[in-house]
Amino acid sequence: MGDAILVEDVYFSYEGLPVLKGVTLTVRTGEVLAIMGENGAGKTTLIKHFVGLLKPERGRVLVFGVDTREASVAQLARRVGVIFQNPDHQLFAESVEGEILFTLRNMGYPPDEARAICERVLKLFELDRYRGRSPYSLSVGERKRLAIAAVVSYNPDVLVLDEPTAGQDFFNKSKISRLIFGLKRQGKGVVVVTHDVEFAAQVADRVALMVDGRVIREGPAGEVLTDAEALKRARLTMPQIPAAAALLEAEGLKLPSKPLLPGSFYLELLDLLNHRWVGP
């Protein structure tokens, strides 16, 4: 695990309106970072700095040691792939297949290799049956998957997903989760911008909460997503499992830790109840 993106005391304004106010954050390879907060907190503005679409007014952003002010968007995009919330901003080819092939050709892949990668990616994202269709004939969820597939195809070192679960059903959320876990196993860095606390609890190693252009809390997911006060400031609800554990604690039944997921919750609760029944 190493530092992929360093955000150091970054300030940025739109037409004189401050949006980022001294943000410091690290994105690491081999780790999933969730950036969370209400609309207008500065999340999307922040991730645009990761590929140089925006440049800091103060502070700096380093991508694998390169200052984003000294590199082009095209150069940075080879290392960091960003999929924004609205897929229509990234899709323009005449067909689903053409979208992925264009991306691969643009990144310098030879035709035969690009074709082979395209086939694998279409099947991975279950888009192969739509290969000849216009991207704009797909549903919003399918277009989102296509935008993700196009970026995944060229194998960047860091993948940034802006609200990846928006418009996705349970089945496709699960596929996105598996994709994220697979990227992490490959040693890649993954950034997820999301309001979905349950999804963050499932996939994130680390969470950064943003409020009004600042990171107010950052740390392991198990600590941040159980911090009721910080979540309240970020206008987020606590995930269901730690919320249930908090209710039990209020009734005098305190678990050894603060579990995020159902399996851990069940095992800790069972162990605690066994101790109560059997005794020390």
Q: Is the pLDDT of residue 103 over 60?
A: yes
What's the mean pLDDT when you consider all of the chain? Answer: 91
Q: How far apart are CA 25 and CA 139, in angstroms?
A: 34
Do residues 130 and 142 touch, judged by C-beta distance below 8 A? Answer: yes
Write the pLDDT tens digit of every residue in 110-135.
999 999 999 999 998 889 999 999 99
Q: Is the pLDDT of residue 279 over 70?
A: no
Provide the pLDDT for residue 231: 96
Select the CATH number that applies to the domain covering 1-73+185-233 from these four: 3.40.50.170, 3.30.70.20, 3.40.50.300, 2.40.160.20: 3.40.50.300
Q: List every span in the chain annotated with CATH 3.40.50.300.
A: 1-73+185-233
Q: How far apart are CA 207 and CA 193, in angstroms?
A: 10
Indicate left, alpha or beta for 243 from its phi (over 0: left) and psi (-120 to 50: alpha). alpha
Provide the pLDDT for residue 275: 63
Distance of CA 96 to the CA centre of its chain: 23
Phi, psi for 117 (deg, rounded to 5): -65, -40
Write the pLDDT tens digit of every residue in 216-230.
999 999 999 999 999
Do residues 73 and 246 touch, judged by C-beta distance below 8 A? Answer: no
Provide the pLDDT for residue 92: 85
